Amino acid sequence: MIGVVAACVLILLLFLQFYKNAYRKPYNFPPGPPSLPVYGAYWIVLATEFNNLAAAFRKIGHKYKTKLIGLYLGAIPAVIVNDSDLIKEMLNREEFDGRMDIILARLRAYWRKLGIFFTDSYFWYIQRRFSLRHLRDFGFGRRDETLEAVLESEIRVMIDMSIHGPIYPAENDVVKGKLIYLPHYFAVPFINGMLHVMSRMTLPRSEYHLLWELARKSLIFQRSSDDIGRALSLTPWLKDIIPKWSGYHALRSSNQYLIDFFTNLVSKELKSYDESHERHFLDVYIKKMKEELAQEKRSTFSVEQLVLVCIDYMFPAASAVQAVLTMLVERLLLQPEIQDKLHEEIDRVVGNGRLPNLDDRKNMLYTEACLREMMRFDTLVPLGVPHRAIVDTTIGGYHVPENSMISANYVMLHMDEKIWGDPENFRPERFIVDGRLSVASDKSLPFGAGKRLCAGETYARQSMFQVFAAFMQAFRVSPADGHRLRAPSRRIQGIITTIPEYWVQVTPRIV
C-alpha cells in the first residue's frame, strides 16, 4: 500500500514538474505554445505544419490571437514576428542584428564563426563593409557594362544550347531535344556572373559541368535545413548517431564541394598574386590580409574567411535566383495569359534583333512586375536567417531576453490582405500604377531590410531581369508532357523555398 502511494506521489510530482517546465517562460514573454521535452515547442510547430514552418507559425499566431509568438525551440527562447509593421520595426532595430550560433553556421565554416551570413558584431561589420565596398568596384550592386556583357554572352550560350542542342556530355543532363531541366538550366549565367565579379574570370562551356555541380550542391545544402536548422541545431549530437536522417551528412557533403571549389579558386589567386597589379576583388582582399599580417595585428582577414565570403556571396547566385525563375516558369504554365503579355511587351520594346538589356528594364514594366510578384507570391526565405537579440529589449509591448532568437515571418507580410487586397492571386499588374512601375506600391521584402538587408539585392534583380527577359524573348514554354498544368507542384521548405526539379518544353519563337 505504501509503495502504491509513493508511486502515485512520484507520478504527481513528475507531472507537476512537466507542467511547470511546459509553461515556463520569461517575464512578459509573448504568448505561444507550451514546451515539451527535448525540442520544446518545436514538436507542436512540426505537428501544426510539418513541411512549412512559416505556415505553422501563421496558424499558431491565429490560435493564440497574437502578432508575436513566444516559444522555446529546445532550450532557446524564440520570438516569431507575425505582423507586417512589427516585421519592419524588428528588421530596422540594431538590437536585433545578431546571429544565432548554431551548428549549421559552424559546420559550413571549419567549425568556426566565419563568413557574412552567420556572423555578427565587429567581425561581421568589418567583413561586410570591406567586401561590399570592393565588390562594387567590380560591378556588384551597380550598373557595370563589363558584367552585363558577360551575362549577355552566357545567356546566348544558354539559348544556343536549347536551339542547337548539347555539345558536351554534361549538357545532356540539362537539355534534351526541346526539353530543358529546371532550375539547373538557368544556373550558368548567374554563377559565371558572380565569378567574374570576384575574380574577373568565367568558366568556359567545356567546364559548365563544374558550375552545374556547384548549383546542385548549393540546392542540396539549402534543402537539408530550414530557417531554424531543424532538429540538428536543437540537438547537434544527432550528427554522431544518425548523420543521414538528421541531415548532417547532406549538409556536410554538399558544403564540402563549395569549400573545395572556392579553396581552389583562392589558392590559384594566392599563387599568382602580384601586389603591384590589382586585378580583381580577390586581389584586394589578399592585399588587405597580407597588410594586417605584416603589422602583426589581430585581424578578421584570413584565407578561410575569404573562402566563406566567396561562398556567402555565391549562394544566392547558385540557388536562390534560379529558384525564383523556376517557380515563375511554372506560373506561366498555370496562367498562360501571363506568357502572352510578356511576349507582347518584349516584342514591342525590344523586338528580335538583340537581347534585352538593363536599359530596357524601365520600359518593360510587366516583365519586371512578374519578377516582383513571384518573389511576393512565393516567399523565397519565409523566416529569413534567424536573428539574435544582442541585449534585453522589448518589441510590441513584450519582453525579448538577450540571446533570444527572433525571426520575421515574411509570409505574413507578403500575404497581408490589408496591403495587397487579394494576396492569394498571382497578379503582376498590382505593381503597375498609371502606366508606370510603382516601386512605392511594392511593400514586399524578399531581400529583408535594415543592416541585414541581403547584400546581393541589386545583382539579383538586375541579373534575373536579364536572364528571364532574354529567355522569354527566345522561347515559348509549355508542359513537357503536352498537357496543361492544373495545379502548382509542392513547395520544398528548406532555408529557401524551392520546387522539385522538372523538365519543361521550350519552343523557339519567330517574331
Give bridge partners of residue 175 from the DSSP assignment: 180
Amino acid residing at 280: H
Kindly write down the DSSP assignment for every residue of 239-252, as one continuous string: HHH-TTTTTHHHHH
Is 467 in contact with 193 (CB distance < 8 Å)? no
Cell matching residue 165: 542542342
Is 370 annotated to bind ligand?
no
Distance CA 262, CA 98 (A): 26
Q: Name the residue among 332, 327, 321, 320 with its Cα closest to residue 475.
A: 332
Taking CA atoms, 184 is separated from 212, 325, 344, 358, 370, in Å, by: 6, 11, 27, 23, 21
DSSP, collapsed to helix, strand or coil, labels residue 7 as helix
Q: HSE, CB side, 13 Å, CA atoms: give it for residue 437.
A: 16
Distance CA 271, CA 286 (A): 11
Can you tell me which residue has the cell 556583357? Answer: 149
Cell matching residue 366: 510587366
Distance CA 287, CA 279 (A): 11
Instruction: Render the burial of 332-357: b for 16+ CB within 10 Å, e for the rest.
Output: bbebeebbebbbebbeebbeeeebbb
Binding-site residue set: 454
Binding-site residue set for heme: 454
